[in-house]
Structures are given as C-alpha cells and as structure tokens.
Amino acid sequence: MKERLEALKLEALQELSGVQSQQELNDLRIKYLGKKGPLTEVLRGMGALSAEERPVIGQVANDVRAAIEAVIEEKQAAYQQQETENRLRAEMIDVTLPGRPSQQGAVHPLSKVIQEIEDIFIGMGYTVAEGPEVEQDYYNFEALNLPKDHPARDMQDSFYITDEILMRTQTSPVQVRTMEKRKGEVPIKIICPGKVYRRDDDDATHSHMFTQIEGLVIDRNVRMSDLKGTLLQFVQEMYGKETRIRLRPSFFPFTEPSVEVDVSCAMCGGVGCRTCKQTGWLEILGAGMVHPRVLEMGGYDPKEYTGFAFGMGVERIAMLKYGIEDIRHFYTNDLRFLKQFLHL
C-alpha cells in the first residue's frame, strides 16, 4: 500500500505540472482529493492493515495528501494573482492622458439681449418688475383702455383659458399692477421683461410666443421729449453712438399720442439697403404718452401726473443687433446657431 501511495503521489504531481487552466486545476483536485478519489479509496482500505502498519501508512497518506494540496494551493494562488493583474490592467486609468474636453455652454442670445437691455435701463434709474404670464382679462385689456368690445383687441388675439383668464399678450399688465401697488406714489420708473403669447402663425418674423420688454415712467411734468431722449439713449447704448431714431405717429389704445420708433439701419448707416428695404430705417418698438384713462384706472390723477410707456420685442432687437434673419432660430435649439454666440 505504501508503494501504491507513492505511485499515486508521482502521478498526481506529474498531472498537476501540466495544468493549463483554473478549470483543469479544479478537476484534478476533485480527481485526487475528492470523496471518490484514489487517495480516499486507499484510506478506506486501512482497516485491513495490522495495528503496526496503520500509523506508518497513515503518515504516508497524510504526506501524499499534503504534497498534492501544496502544489494545488501554489498553482491556485498563481492563478488568482494572474487574474488580479489582468483585472487591474483592464481597469487601469492612465492619469497621464489628457482629459476629454467638456463642451462649454453660453448664455442664450435672447437672455443676453435681455440682460443688456436691463443693464442699460437700470443705469438710467429704472427697476425691473415682473408679473404673471397667465393673466386676467382686466389687467391685460380693460385696465389698458381696451374694453371687451374694443376692435383693437383683434390685433392681440390670445389663448384663453376661460372668458376672464388668458395667456398675456403683452407685459403691460405688469405696469397696471405696479400702479395699483404704488397707490398714487411717484415716481414710477420700471421695465417689465417676460414672455407673451398671441395667436400668430409662426414664420420668419412672427411667433406665437415671444419675449417683450416694456417700460413705464410716471411723474409730474413728464413730456414726449423725455420719452424721445430715453429711447435715443437706449438705442445708442445698444447699437452704437451713431444710431439715430425717428418717431412716426401711430395708434395704441393705452397711449395718446402714440408713436412707432425707428432706428437708422446699422447695415447701411441709413443710406438704404435690402435689410431696411432701401428706406434707411428699421422699426424696433412702439411708445407714447400714457393715456389719461389708463392713469385713472391705475389710481393716478391725469391732471397732476403724466407718463410715457414703450414696448419692444426682444427677438426684434436681437435680430437687428446680430443680423439674424429668422425668429425661429431662437427656439429650435440648433447648436450650429447657438455656438455663434459662445464668445459674444
């Protein structure tokens, strides 16, 4: 039996020396050390040995088992080490490589123009006022001298939620709310930026939603010349010191007298080109002296106080400033368009 154990040891060590994989190693461990293996079979036959032989054969069997287990453990450790090294190599990060550059964003051109306009008017002593986009008919129309049967409402057809609630068509309701809040106190010098909504068909120059900034000044002895000087200061800050303005008579229910305001074309310097349709002028906003009826409904005595108001579409201002030909570019999120403003 001793010779059989020694032969088993040599056989096992020889097979283990040729192991090529973790699976082969596991198979040999089961083959030689498992419950049905030859070593276990030999040990089961020790009952037939004499009392003197059993300790000797038992020691030999233990030595054989220990020798086989030692080789298996050594190879098992080697395989585990190799597996760890392979995993570390696969998961290794080379910190010396340059990082992937992250895309740099920029302020949206409309937000940028709004900030510029706010900065200009804040520099002239104005404050910024805001109000709800879902508005009452009273503030959007009636308090601005547009009763329910007024034909001028047709120019500002909106999205109605109920008969008395709608998406605001202008930021003028903020002016009315400010007058109510101030309760006859003067002076009032505010600008009102925000989104407005009208049932327009979207095309290159119209959008059902757009951004507007309106302004309101109320005090004693406010005149049309103050309005003109304010707007001239604004356009020269926005478009350059050489920019000129002209006022053309117009009609708005909430101002009297009312004017359309044009600026000299920046593309041709006022000479005439395709952009300005050979006129040398581009319309940018509407304005006028606050209608006495609007002052009264806002809580101000029109015999004691006067004021002026103006309103501009931010998209229109931005299109003229940056030479943009289609208002829809502002809302389609085309990166080719937006990247142009990355460093402006």
Q: Which is it for the CA torsion 235, 239, 240, 243, positive or negative?
A: negative
Peptide bond into 292 cis (omega under 30): no
- Measured CA to CA, the distance from residue 149 to residue 162 in angstroms comes to 17
CA angle 142, 147, 148 (to 5 degrees): 110
Q: How many other C-beta atoms can be found within 10 angstroms of the C-beta atom of residue 83?
A: 11
Q: Which helix (H) or strand (E) holds 172?
A: helix 172-182
The CA-based diameter of the chain, rounded to the nearest angstrom, is: 134
> Which residues are within 8 A (CB) of 134 and not within 5 positions of it... i.e. 6 or more apart?
161, 165, 166, 167, 168
- Measured CA to CA, the distance from residue 255 to residue 283 in angstroms comes to 18
Q: DSSP 3-state assignment of 245?
A: strand
Phi-psi group of 299: left, alpha or beta (phi > 0 → left; psi -120 to 50 → alpha; rest → beta): left
Residue 136 in tokens: 């009452």
83 marked as part of a ligand binding site: no
Q: Residues at the annotated binding site for Mg(2+)?
A: 256
Binding residues: 256
